[in-house]
Amino acid sequence: MALDSGGADARSDEQLMAAYVAGDADAFRVLFDRYAPQLFRLVRRRVASDDEARDLVQQTLLQMHRARHDFRTDSRVRPWLFTIAVNLVREHYRKRGRRREQALEPDAPLPADPGAAPDAHGESRERAARVRAALSQLPDQQREVIELHWFEHSPYEEIATIVGASVAAVRVRAHRGYLRLRELLPGVE
């Protein structure tokens, strides 16, 4: 197994997936370590609790396992996983009978930062709450694109694959979404 200078597995995601399909169980652990934190952040923004998010991330990786024989040489792991996660979140809300994803639960307390000013935590939490409230006011299609683009730094081409729209449509949704967010979050730039 090739290691990088830091001792981590140097194989690409696609090489790891191919190894996993061929029966290398350790490759799955490496993929888990690489993607579980990202998937948790992606899902956690859209569900009400850490436990729900962990459950959905587990389901995402379980679905990746079940779908492993669908993985082709020209497939890419990241959009694969993000598409599964996005679809599972949608299904999560469809089963609950809610069209719009509701506001999240009250913020968990932030860890103390000894170097920060006394009111920094409150300020940060307030900003986070404002951003989440603004995001929840976007139409679902715009919100999905904004979250993938702004939070996950996904390029539009990848977002188009994940949400099943053209790149042009994704750009329009992003443009409209960002405009609306700027209206809802005055003075953020």
Partner 1 sequence: MSRSPDPPPQRADEPGLPAELARAVDGVHGAADLDRMYASLHAELGRERGLRAWLRARSTVARGLMALGLVAAVSALVALGFARPDLGSFPPARMALSLAAMALLMIVGVALALRPLQRAALPAWVGPAAITGSLAVLAGLYLVSPFDLPRAAFDAATLRPALVCMAIGLLLGVPVYGALLLLDRGGSRQALPMAMAAGLAANLELHIHCPSADPLHLMLGHFGAAVLLLLATALWVRAGR
Residues 104-133 that bind partner 1 (CB under 8 A): 107-108, 110, 124-125, 127-129, 131-132
Indicate the residue among 4 and 118 with the shorter CB distance to partner 1: 4
Applying CB under 8 A, the site for partner 1 has a residue count of 81
Separation CA 142–CA 151 (nearest Å): 13
The rounded distance, in Å, linking the Cα atoms of 77 and 99 is: 29
- Residues numbered 40-99 forming contacts with partner 1, rule: CB under 8 A: 40-41, 44-45, 50, 53-54, 57-59, 61-70, 76-78, 80-81, 83-84, 86-88, 90-91, 95, 97
182-188 long-range contacts, CB within 8 A, separation 24+ = 184/133, 184/134, 184/137, 185/130, 185/131, 185/134
- Tell whether residue 185 is a contact of partner 1 (CB under 8 A): yes
Q: Which of residues 131-160 bind partner 1 (CB under 8 A)?
A: 131-132, 135, 149-156, 158
**161 forms part of the interface with partner 1 (CB under 8 A):** yes
Q: Report helix, strand or coil for 173.
A: helix
12 contributes a contact to partner 1 by CB under 8 A? yes
- Does residue 29 belong to the site contacting partner 1 (CB under 8 A)? yes
Pick the binder of partner 1 from 3, 166, 175, 183 (CB under 8 A). 175
CA 118 to chain centre: 31
Nearer to partner 1, 1 or 188 (CB): 188
Q: What is the largest CA-CA distance in the chain?
A: 54
State how far the Cα of 14 lies from the Cα of 20, in Å rounded to an integer.
10
Residue 35 touching partner 1 (CB under 8 A): yes
C-beta separation of 55 from 39 below 8 A: no
